[in-house]
Amino acid sequence: MRALIEVESKQNIDEEGIKVITPGNFYEEDGVFYAVYEETEISGMEGTITTIKIEGNKVFLNRKGSLNSEMIFEEGKSTYVLYETPYGTLDMKITTDSITGEIKESGGELALEYILEFPGQAPIKTNLKISISFQDADVMTESVE
């Protein structure tokens, strides 16, 4: 089903953050929710398809295209990720502090708080907000396609 997907990311090293509002697809399959959209120039990941998978208390963020990664967020846990860019591959550790909110068939909102760690760099505290709605999704789709 066509939906309006809003993703907002703020880090302690960047006061402004990034906010992307884009049409995409949202669906549920066997109790797991999926939001799929194309990244744009605004996010700096043009040519990448992002899939957000919400399965119980876990959130998976998969990117394929100009950037490739699979990030796993689970409250109170750390995961290790290979983040592939056109310039090389980075090792990254994600420690999820909290996941709040709810996504259901009618949409909803999730807020994730986590820490990104790259070897040799200071940890980066990150807040990620994901919102799914159906209001104006068709209008947005028409203007993009």
pTM of the model: 0.84
Q: Which domain holds residue 64?
A: 2-144
List Cα–Cα distances, 67 to 9, 27, 71, 87, 100, in angstroms.
17, 24, 12, 10, 27
Cβ pair 99, 110 in contact under 8 A = yes
Tokens in use for 5? 């997907």
Query: What pLDDT digit, counting tens, does each position of 70-101 carry?
Result: 999 999 999 999 888 778 888 999 999 999 99
**What is the C-alpha radius of gyration for the chain, rounded to an integer number of angstroms?**
15
Number of domains in the chain: 1
For position 27, which CATH number holds?
2.40.128.20
Query: What pLDDT digit, counting tens, does each position of 21-71 carry?
Result: 889 999 999 999 999 998 866 666 777 899 999 999 999 999 998 778 899
Phi and psi dihedrals of 137, rounded to 5?
Answer: -65, -40
